[in-house]
Amino acid sequence: MTVTVRDFRTEDAGAVVGLRRACTPFMVTTKEALLAGVATAHPAKKYRLLVAEEDGEIIGTAHVGIAYDSSDPGQASVTPQVHPERRGRGAGSLILRTAEEHLAAEGATSVYAWVLDEPPARAFAERHGYRPTRPAHFQRLDLARCTLPELPPLPAGVELRTGADYAGDPRPLFAADAEAGSDEPGDISVTLDDYGDWLNHTWNDPCLDRALTSVVVVDGRIASFTAAHTDRHTRYASGMTGTVREFRGRGLAKIAKIHSLRRARAAGYTDAFTSNDADNGPMLAINRWFGYEICATEVRHVRALG
């Protein structure tokens, strides 16, 4: 049996989504989102979606690209995933080598990868020269059975809106996302200043549920928000929860999350997921307060190229 690696084709979408769900069941993805991501990839990303095949069956995959929105040039990322039942056949190593060769040719000097915090995955990363940098926790909430807090009375001047209310002009949400996201901990510094790119990959992401996205407004200005991603069936995920600096410390992120989670359950969603950097104490504390429990941990790894 021979394993080969090639670029993604449109007809692969169903198989790739199925594989990703098997490898990372705590993440929300759909065929529509996968295809949109491929179609709208920024040219500077030098993006490739690789798949590994064995006897015509897709058993592995990886997103590969340059961190074009980073202020530190030469940063890149790749995270190989191989179906749990098809590991040990060399697919992961072949995908990784193909990705690294592509990234090196495009000028990458460092490659980052997420690695499940499990002995086989950590050993694979170490064998290929990757060293750990920082962990992140995935958390799950049993939305069908948990007790959600009631929405508290809103302070004077505070109102709740949804992402759908900004359909005509989402630029205020872009500004809030840019400010809140700039303070997120991470290995690769990112500058969110390209509105068109944000429209492509955030606002128009097929997984973004604008009706379930909650926005807290104070005196007419966006103060906090939580972006809701769904598979349009049973799975809900917090794509990003953030509060702009001026309004932090007022509990507004909790209000946004209560508003979104309660409406998500009313809409029939049964499983809620979120993820946070292990150093993001404030958001981890908020999620524990809601009843989220850690269901998986990934550790960011890095390798220097050249």
Quick check: 172 pLDDT over 90? yes
Mean pLDDT of 5-30: 97
**Model confidence at 185, in pLDDT bands (50, 70, 90)?**
low
Quick check: 188 pLDDT over 80? no
Residue 283 pLDDT = 85
Three-class SS state of 17: helix
Report the alpha-carbon distance of residue 224 to residue 248 in Å, rounded.
8
- DSSP line for 270-288: -EEEEEEETT-HHHHHHHH
Residue 186 pLDDT = 65
For the chain, the domains span 3-108, 141-297
Quick check: 276 pLDDT over 90? yes
Nearest one of 277, 283, 280, 281 to 300, comparing CA atoms = 277
Quick check: 187 pLDDT over 90? no
**Model confidence at 66, in pLDDT bands (50, 70, 90)?**
very high
Residue 182 pLDDT = 77
**pLDDT tens for each residue of 103-129:** 999 999 999 999 999 999 999 999 999
Residue 116 pLDDT = 96
Quick check: 306 pLDDT over 90? no
Q: What are phi and psi of 164, to 5 degrees?
A: -60, -25
Mean pLDDT of 182-197: 79
Three-class SS state of 302: strand
**Model confidence at 281, in pLDDT bands (50, 70, 90)?**
confident
Q: What are 273's strand-pairing partners?
A: 140, 237
Quick check: 273 pLDDT over 90? yes
3-108 shares its CATH topology with 141-297: yes
Report the alpha-carbon distance of residue 230 to residue 213 in Å, rounded.
10
The pair of three-digit structure tokens given for residue 100, joined into one six-digit string: 């690294």
Report the alpha-carbon distance of residue 242 to residue 236 in Å, rounded.
17
Stated pTM of the model: 0.93
Which CATH superfamily, name and number, covers 3-108? Answer: Gcn5-related N-acetyltransferase (GNAT) (3.40.630.30)
**Model confidence at 265, in pLDDT bands (50, 70, 90)?**
very high
Which CATH superfamily, name and number, covers 141-297? Answer: Gcn5-related N-acetyltransferase (GNAT) (3.40.630.30)
Mean pLDDT of 6-25: 97
Residue 144 pLDDT = 96
Q: What are 226's strand-pairing partners?
A: 214, 241
Report the alpha-carbon distance of residue 153 to residue 147 in Å, rounded.
18
Residue 282 pLDDT = 85
Mean pLDDT score across all residues of the chain: 95
Mean pLDDT of 6-12: 98
**Model confidence at 1, in pLDDT bands (50, 70, 90)?**
low
Q: Are 219 and 230 in contact (CB under 8 A)?
A: no
**Model confidence at 183, in pLDDT bands (50, 70, 90)?**
confident
**Model confidence at 262, in pLDDT bands (50, 70, 90)?**
very high
